[in-house]
């Protein structure tokens, strides 16, 4: 989603990603992203908070569990293959 700023220039909203998908911040707050060279507003990013971190960590643990389960299944299959 793009928003408009004072001069009519398009500014991009950059989402955070949790569990491989774009996610909005729990707070709904945004941080302005400015060009270090010009100070011009070039975009916005979600202002993540502790609940967003908890969601991301839970997604990492779930992905690790799925990966370990797949690896275990593959190891068992390789042992049982003649």
Q: What's the confidence (pLDDT) of residue 58?
A: 95
CA distances (Å), origin 78, targets 33, 64, 65, 70, 75: 50, 21, 20, 12, 5
Confidence bin at 73 (pLDDT 50/70/90): low
Interval 53-63 mean pLDDT: 93
Classify residue 46 by burial, with Cβ atoms within 10 Å: 0-12, 13-18, 19+: buried
pLDDT digits (tens, 9 = 90+) for 10-54: 788 999 999 999 999 999 999 999 999 999 999 999 999 999 999
Residue indicated by tokens 């941080």: 31
Q: Greater confidence, 4 or 37? A: 37
Q: Which residues pair with 44 in a beta bridge?
A: 13, 32
The domain segmentation of the chain, as residue ranges, is 2-80
């Amino acid at each position: 989603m793009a928003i408009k700023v004072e001069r009519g220039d398009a500014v991009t909203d950059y989402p955070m990603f949790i569990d491989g998908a774009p996610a909005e911040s729990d707070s709904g707050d945004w941080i302005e992203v400015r060009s270090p060279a010009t100070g011009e507003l070039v975009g916005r990013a979600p202002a993540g908070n502790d609940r967003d971190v908890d969601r991301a960590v839970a997604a990492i643990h779930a992905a690790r569990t799925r990966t370990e389960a797949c690896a275990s299944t593959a190891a068992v299959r390789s042992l049982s293959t003649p």
